[in-house]
Amino acid sequence: AQKVTQAQTEISVVEKEDVTLDCVYETRDTTYYLFWYKQPPSGELVFLIRRNSFDEQNEISGRYSWNFQKSTSSFNFTITASQVVDSAVYFCALSEATTDSWGKLQFGAGTQVVVTP
């Protein structure tokens, strides 16, 4: 079963618009980690953020912000004032702490963000 759902396949925006990427996860663990990665056209996945399940405080880093809500099992990502360089595929991932999964990353299908000038 898919543990991480990124329902948006592609989002197209014009530069300077805000864009929010949705991520819904599923786990029975009380301890887990959530991640966001960016994959630009060059192919390399770039680590953006890790959040543990006990820290629901929202985080802002420059134009990036993350909204973690355990009540809805969501970890959404917002890019404010988007730029062309933000064009990439963005992946949400879950790492569970159970013995069987040893913390491996379970990725969503990704959301393609296209920012046009």
Give me the sign of the Cα torsion angle 47, 102, 108, 81. negative
Give whichever of 41 and 117 is closer to other proteins, judged by the CB atom: 41
| Pairing assessment for the beta strands 46-52 and 59-61 based on DSSP bridges | unpaired
Nearest-approach distance from CB 47 to other proteins, in angstroms: 5
The minimum distance between CB 13 and other proteins, in angstroms, equals: 22
Q: DSSP states of 94-108 as a string?
A: EEE-STTTTT-EEE-
Q: Which is nearer to other proteins, 33 or 64 (CB)?
A: 33
- 88, 113 contact by CB (below 8 A): yes
CB of 14 or CB of 103, closer to other proteins: 103
Shortest spacing between CB 68 and other proteins, in angstroms: 16
Footprint of other proteins (CB under 8 A): 33, 35, 37, 42-47, 50, 52, 91, 95, 97, 102-105, 107-110
Q: How many CB atoms lie within 10 A of CB 83?
A: 12
